[in-house]
A and B are shown apart, each in its own frame.
Chain A
Amino acid sequence: MNPFDDHIRVTLQELAEEAVPVNLADQALRGARRRRVAIATAGAAVFAAVGLGVAPLALADIGHGTNPADNSRPPAPSTTEYTPAPQVPPPPAPSPTVTSTVAPPHGTTPPPTTTPPATTTPPPPLPSPTVWGIASTPPPVPSPTR
């Protein structure tokens, strides 16, 4: 054996003799009791925190319906209630057509207006063709009985 190792061993034993024995049984028992209470309190606090966090979500889920699968589905779009345009006809906007400024040549029908045809609202009333002095219907034929 190395003499240095022997010296370490002897010195450690001499050092250990300096320790003063103190009976720590009471402190250990009190500490164990405190530790048990602390663990139980922490467990109860965690349980309460989890319960307070989960309970409102569960109640809200119950309040929406009994079948959670129906609640998870997004609502289907309603086609009957949707009205793409108001029933009231929009105010007649001035149409950027050339009919207001340039008279069409005789014998031709006026050009259609530029209002979009996709709307369900009735188109604004077109100006009567008589405005331009052209009869859209032929003149009445005299009855052959006369």
Chain B
Amino acid sequence: MDAAAQRRFREFVAQRTPALMRVAYLLAGDQHAAEDLLQTALTKTAARWRHLQHADPEGYVRKVMYHEQVSWWRRAARRRETPTHPVPDVAGDDPTGNSDLRLSMREALQRLTARQRATLVLRYFEDRSETEVAALLGCSVGTVRSQTYRAVKRLRALAPELALFT
């Protein structure tokens, strides 16, 4: 990659990192895993930057992130990272109640499968249609519908306090 292409790549990353990091954070579940996921996607994008810089690099980064998230190899690699100590910060009571719900939702999202979480993020955060989600994840529309249905059903079961909104 020449100097001009590197400069354009840096500009693209600096401009689109906040939006991409939000998606990575929702997909991965925590900050470190999100940075790891986004860096993997950007590395693959940089390797193909010559062909992508005049096309849709952000779409490519998002697609790589979704595919990496549901990749069996990546999940197997991350499964080897076993936490040996409990998380030091423990959430306390929130007078507003809003943070409690958010924490419950975060914990419930963590317990979904990677494909269910990716489907939820695409459908509810990015407001993609079922056809677009199917194309991005490389599956059928029926699979997207069933994954969405199961993910919502599991969220209701894992976080009963969210059922107050039904």
Contact = CB atoms under 8 A, between A and B. Distances in A.
Partners in one complex: yes
Interface of A: 2-9, 11-25, 27-29, 31-32, 35-36
A36 B22 contact: no
Given A4-B152, A16-B25, A16-B125, A28 B120 contact: no
A51 to B, nearest CB: 27
Chain B's interface: helix, strand, loop or mixed, by majority?
A: helix
B39 interface: yes
Contacts of A3: 165-166
Contacts of B47: 32, 35-36
B17 interface: yes
Looking at chain A's contact residues, is the secondary structure mostly helix, strand, loop, or mixed? helix
A12 B43 contact: no
B56 to A, nearest CB: 17
B124 A25 contact: no
A85 to B, nearest CB: 72
Q: Which 10 A/B pairs are nearest by Cβ-Cβ distance?
A: A19-B25, A28-B42, A31-B43, A32-B46, A16-B22, A25-B13, A7-B165, A11-B105, A21-B18, A12-B125
A99 to B, nearest CB: 91
Contacts of B139: none
A4 B18 CA distance: 27
Interface string B1-31: 1000010011001100110011111100001
B144 interface: no
Nearest to B42: A28
Interface of B: 1, 6, 9-10, 13-14, 17-18, 21-26, 31, 34-35, 38-40, 42-47, 49, 98, 101-102, 105-106, 109, 120-121, 124-125, 152, 155-156, 162-163, 165-166
A64 B46 CA distance: 52
A29 B14 contact: no
A32 B6 CA distance: 12
A19 B21 contact: yes
Contacts of B156: 4
A24 to B, nearest CB: 5
B125 A13 contact: yes
A9 B13 contact: no
A35 B40 CA distance: 11
17 contacts: A4-B152, A8-B120, A18-B25, A20-B21, A21-B17, A21-B18, A22-B35, A24-B13, A24-B35, A24-B39, A24-B42, A25-B14, A27-B39, A28-B13, A28-B43, A31-B40, A32-B44
